[in-house]
Homo-oligomer: A and B are copies of this chain.
């Protein structure tokens, strides 16, 4: 019984890692949609998000099914609760990628991002994608160093977001609507990155039993 439960948990963790990779793919496509005003990429990102949601709902329902059938011990339960929580993080990452894609769709055929901001969003998209991949790797390896690497990438996202605000607050010739779009897009990437960090923190917690500093 215990082994069966453990196997099911390990499978759930593998699925989470796969889904974190899925979130990486979604933010990559969404960023292409944004920078190239590419509707096909936007559509792909939205489909990837839907696929994530479907699989996460299954994962969660399996987790509750496991609870109903087994009498897990405390350490296994901690993993199970964490699986459910991490599912919520990944779900948010998918939604945030979808928000980026939807913004690109809404403004199509116009480009959402002024040329002067394209490098900032290109970098944000790249770092966000890497962070989701790193989160997946941390889930697979349970290596607390993977988690440490994520924190430094999160600083990069914060710095990029500051660049963004400096441009908006400076000489901004693109109008109020573009400023609002850019601010929200920056927020979406920042939150995407935060969720990747939260996943890595949860891995540290699983490994060490000590919660990361909030």
Contact = CB atoms under 8 A, between A and B. Distances in A.
Interface of A: 53, 57, 63-64, 67-69, 71, 73-74, 77-78, 80-81, 84-85, 88, 165, 168-169, 172, 174-184, 187, 211, 214
A180 B183 CA distance: 5
B177 A180 contact: no
B214 A53 contact: yes
Nearest to A172: B176
Nearest to A69: B74
Given A78-B67, A88-B88, A214-B53, A177 B179 contact: yes
A184 to B, nearest CB: 5
A182 B183 CA distance: 10
Given A175-B176, A180-B168, A180-B182, A77 B85 contact: no
Contacts of A177: 168-169, 172, 179
Contacts of A81: 63-64, 67, 80-81, 84
Interface centre among A85, A177, A180, A183 (most CB of B within 10 A): A180
13 contacts: A57-B211, A57-B214, A67-B74, A67-B77, A71-B71, A80-B81, A85-B85, A85-B88, A175-B176, A176-B176, A176-B178, A177-B179, A179-B179
A176 B168 contact: yes
Contact of A68 (B53, B74, B85): B74
Nearest to A173: B176
A211 B81 CA distance: 17
Contacts of A77: 67, 77
Contacts of A180: 165, 168, 179-180, 182-183
A178 B178 CA distance: 12
Nearest to A61: B211
Nearest to A65: B74
A70 B80 CA distance: 16
